[in-house]
Structure 1
Amino acid sequence: MRRTVPFAIAVAGLALTACEPYGDLRGFAPAPGAVDKLEVGTQSRDDVVRLVGSPSAVATFNPNVWYYISERQETWGPSRPWIAEQSVIQITFNDTGRVATIKYYDLKDARNITMVSRITPTSGKELTILEQILGNVGKFSGPRQQSNPGAPTGGG
């Protein structure tokens, strides 16, 4: 009895710790205080890269907008991972290349985007399987005979 109680407690403790969710950090991880050193209107793009690092993404239609994106995913047992924390820092530069604005976004600012499931129509005729199989029957002939085979290539 004295040996089974500690063993049962140890097994229960291991079982409980095995069910604890674990996290995985992905994306941008700034050095502590690096983003706080940025000042609006004084620092250039090179200063931002030196202090914070290269951006995770640059806006598609405006190269003056940089994004630093990070997220922490958690998983519990065999379930699919979910996003527990998300952080996006948006740095906008003015026309002279100086920091114009710094904005912070988190998970509550995120929006779900549904993919468009349209199919692009193609020109032409839709063929059935039978038309595809029988479509080339009779279109092929034997090897073609050339009327002028060219000069003989014998040794010489």
Structure 2
Amino acid sequence: MRQFSRHSPRGRILLAIGLSALVLGASGCTRIRTHQGYSIDKLLVDSVQPGIDNRASVEGTLGRPSFVSQFGEQDWYYVSREMRALAFSNPKPVEQTVLRVRFDPAGNVAAVDRMGLDQVAHISPMGDKTPTLGRNRSLFDEIFGNIGAVGAGGMGGGGGGSNTGGGPNGS
């Protein structure tokens, strides 16, 4: 049996292949950090002052909001979230900031509120199925269930009418 030395050309090639496999394997388990949404600049956010700024100045300073409230007062929301995931696992929020700019009826800034990750609701679904109303039908029932139902009573079909008279109005 032949042995390889790390000083031989074959030994160096095997050593290089082994090290590259180790590096590539380890890089698949790195943490992935992503940023979603608005990039909050603390200096710009702190420059928005209630009673001084209005919609136009807020848009000039912070830009367009992530979304605007649809009901009630027209509040502007700027949402920023930092996510972290390990390899192929589901990403988890690490940090979140929701900046709400409230306006008075005249369009001036009334307040600037910040909310964090503590405001996120954690929902834990029960089971692996969503309950629905209606019938339990299999795939075959869905595909072949309407065969023979064309023109059946109550389905709005035009056949088999019970007109007793000879005229178009039953007379």
TM bin, normalised by shorter chain, reads 0.5 to 0.7
**SS of the residue 1:33 aligns to:** helix
Question: How far off is 1:47 after superposition?
Answer: 0.3
Distance change in 2, residues 1:62/1:118 (3 Å): farther
Cα distance in 2 between the residues matched to 1:24 and 1:130 = 48
| 1:144-155 correspondence to structure 2 within 5 Å | none
Question: How far off is 1:7 after superposition?
Answer: 6.5
**SS of the residue 1:68 aligns to:** strand
Cα distance in 1 between the residues matched to 2:51 and 2:73 = 17
Q: CA RMSD in A?
A: 3.4
Normalised to the residue count of structure 1, the TM-score between the two structures is 0.66
Question: How far off is 1:13 after superposition?
Answer: 4.1
Indicate the residue corresponding to 2:92 in structure 1: 82
Normalised to the residue count of structure 2, the TM-score between the two structures is 0.61
**SS of the residue 2:148 aligns to:** helix
1:91 aligns with 2:91: no
Indicate the residue corresponding to 1:26 in structure 2: 36
Percent same amino acid among aligned pairs? 23
8 Å Cα contact 2:40-2:80 kept in structure 1: no
Indicate the residue corresponding to 1:136 in structure 2: 151
8 Å Cα contact 2:32-2:87 kept in structure 1: no
- Deviations 1:45-87 (CA, angstroms, capped at 9, x unpaired): 0000000011111112124311111212222222222222211
- Deviations 1:16-55 (CA, angstroms, capped at 9, x unpaired): 3331111222211245622121111100000000000111
Unaligned runs of 5+ in 1: 122-128, 142-156
Indicate the residue corresponding to 1:49 in structure 2: 59
Residues paired across the two proteins, number: 134
Distance change in 2, residues 1:15/1:133 (3 Å): same
Distance change in 2, residues 1:66/1:8 (3 Å): same
Indicate the residue corresponding to 2:164 in structure 1: none
Residue identity in the other structure for 1:86: Q
Aligned equivalent of 2:112, options 102, 122, 125:
102
Cα distance in 2 between the residues matched to 1:15 and 1:114 = 33
1:36 aligns with 2:46: yes
Cα distance in 2 between the residues matched to 1:51 and 1:36 = 10
Question: How far off is 1:10 after superposition?
Answer: 5.5
